[in-house]
Amino acid sequence: TDSRSASLTTAQLSLLVLVIQNSTLVLMMRCSRVRKSPDQMYIASTAVFLAEILKIIACLIVLLIQKRTLKRFINVIQKDIFEQPTEIIKMIIPSALYALQNNLLYVALSNLEAATFQVTYQLKILSTAIFSVLMLGRSLSRGKWFALVLLMVGVTLVQLQTVNHHITASSASDIDIDKNNNQTINLKNHNDEDPTSSTITVTSKSSTATATHILMAAQNPLIGLIAVITSCISSGFAGCYFEKVLKSSDTSMWVRNIQLGFSGSTFSVLAMILYDGKEIFNDGFFQGYNSLTFAVVGNQALGGLLVAMVVKYADNILKGFATSVSIIVSGIISFYFLNFQPSSQFTIVSISADRDTRLILADIEAT
Ligand code: C5P
């Protein structure tokens, strides 16, 4: 039918934008966390909170545009949100998980290399599939399970080189290699007049491994790993929970997101006050912010809305595929713009991911 083909287009479009958004978020977030000294660092919990508020504002604006008049808009807000406390209570579970997960993402990216993070984060694909079966009654054929695991493994292989390449590219200005292959790493220096900037010289012939290692020295990989695994479980569960709520009633996605945002912002305020209250009180909410921080916040808010759209028009499993494809897209971008040489593994995985995605798209069309 017409509506089916229209919603398929929306599904594809939202997936495409999710792919682009996802390809940039991890790198931007990681850049925003490692390129500063701790005393100039922005407070992650404030960024999570801001993204939450931004999402609510965006949903309100969309609702206002959809309803056309202020009167009808206020009517919807009153009837669907203020007069539906049980619906808001229903959203407490996923919003608490998302608040936790959004904060853990910063913990993970502050403690793990982007490559390690991306690899471990792929477990999300599997946890999502498991929760889709348990909570949404989906059944996946053995072939599809195999495809999921294969994609996960494949993406992991690609990641190991793609993201390393990004790290090299993004921190190239921090690493100078002289003619004897000694590496000089400018740890803090992004401001030429900054007297606290320091350099370390490493005598090593291996190009970037040592440099990367030293840049990561102050971090705790175990904490990063626990954070990322917890995020995967939370992501799978919360995603399927939201999908179930969204697809079991007529309430619009925008209203659902505002309901989610209400408890979500409450949780993020609590996290912010509990963990960083003192620091915020002393040095201000926006301490350490720069334009990149605002870009990360905007990107994260956009990502949240896209996730909701993808879950509505497609489903969580497909969302997992989109995020894996985004890794391949960033590989292709690096190929054209950053001189990245793809290996045969990369090419094989790209082709098979393309095929899997088409199979799954054909599958939604059929259902
Ligand atoms: O990685 P994952 O897909 O679980 O990420 C979900 C992200 O999307 C979280 O940052 C969460 O806050 C956001 N989200 C949202 N609104 C929804 C669903 C998810 O903002 N309805």
Question: Which residue among 48, 56, 98, 251 has the greatest number of ligand 1 atoms within 8 angstroms of its CB, and so is best to mutate?
Answer: 98
Phi, psi of 95 (to 5 degrees): -70, -35
Reference 202, options 180, 176, 184; nearest CA is 184
Could you please report the per-residue DSSP string of 354-365? HHHHHHHHHHHH
Reference 113, options 208, 2, 1, 241; nearest CA is 208
Task: Say if ligand 1 is within 6 A of residue 304 CB.
Answer: yes
Nearest residue (CA) to ligand 1, atom 1 = 235
Nearest residue (CA) to ligand 1, atom 4 = 235
Q: What pLDDT was estimated at residue 190?
A: 36
What's the gap between Cα 246 and its chain centre? 21
Task: Count Cβ atoms below 10 Å from residue 343 Cβ, excluding itself.
Answer: 12
Coil/strand/helix, residue 140: coil
Could you please report the per-residue DSSP string of 36-85? S-GGGPPPHHHHHHHHHHHHHHHHHHHHHHHH-SHHHHHHHIIIIIIT-H
Looking at ligand 1, which atom is closest to the CA of residue 304? 20
Taking the chain (367 residues) in runs of 10, the rounded mean pLDDT of each run is 60 87 79 73 94 96 96 95 91 93 88 76 89 93 84 70 44 46 41 36 38 51 90 95 93 94 93 94 95 95 93 90 74 59 58 58 51
What stretches of the chain adopt beta strand conformation (E)? Answer: 175-177, 182-186, 199-203
Distance, in Å, from the CA atom of 184 to the CA atom of 182, rounded to the nearest integer, reads 7
Cβ atoms of 309 and 239 closer than 8 Å:
no
Task: Count Cβ atoms below 10 Å from residue 131 Cβ, excluding itself.
Answer: 23
Residue 334 sits at the vertex; the CA angle it makes with 222 and 42, to the nearest 5 degrees, is: 45
Task: Say if ligand 1 is within 6 A of residue 235 CB.
Answer: yes
Q: Phi/psi zone of residue 284: left (φ > 0), alpha (ψ -120 to 50 degrees), beta?
A: left
Nearest residue (CA) to ligand 1, atom 14 = 304
Task: Say if ligand 1 is within 6 A of residue 242 CB.
Answer: yes
Nearest residue (CA) to ligand 1, atom 21 = 308
Structure token pair of residue 87: 């619906």
Tell me how far the alpha carbon of residue 102 lies from the centroid of ligand 1, in angstroms.
Answer: 8
Tell me how far the alpha carbon of residue 320 lies from the centroid of ligand 1, in angstroms.
Answer: 12
Q: How many residues does the chain have?
A: 367
In order of 41, 115, 212, 227, 244, the CA distances from 163 in angstroms are 23, 5, 12, 19, 34
Tell me how far the alpha carbon of residue 26 lies from the centroid of ligand 1, in angstroms.
Answer: 14
Q: What pLDDT was estimated at residue 28?
A: 81
Q: Which residues pair with 175 in a beta bridge?
A: 185
Tell me how far the alpha carbon of residue 261 lies from the centroid of ligand 1, in angstroms.
Answer: 11
Tell me how far the alpha carbon of residue 49 lies from the centroid of ligand 1, in angstroms.
Answer: 13
Could you please report the per-residue DSSP string of 202-218? EE-SSSSHHHHHHHTTT
Tell me how far the alpha carbon of residue 227 lies from the centroid of ligand 1, in angstroms.
Answer: 16
Q: Which ipTM score applies to this complex?
A: 0.95
Phi, psi of 245 (to 5 degrees): -60, -45
Looking at ligand 1, which atom is closest to the CA of residue 264? 12
Looking at ligand 1, which atom is closest to the CA of residue 316? 3
Task: Say if ligand 1 is within 6 A of residue 55 CB.
Answer: yes
Task: Say if ligand 1 is within 6 A of residue 98 CB.
Answer: yes
In order of 140, 224, 284, 321, the CA distances from 230 in angstroms are 24, 10, 30, 20
Tell me how far the alpha carbon of residue 307 lies from the centroid of ligand 1, in angstroms.
Answer: 6
Distance, in Å, from the CA atom of 311 to the CA atom of 132, rounded to the nearest integer, reads 12
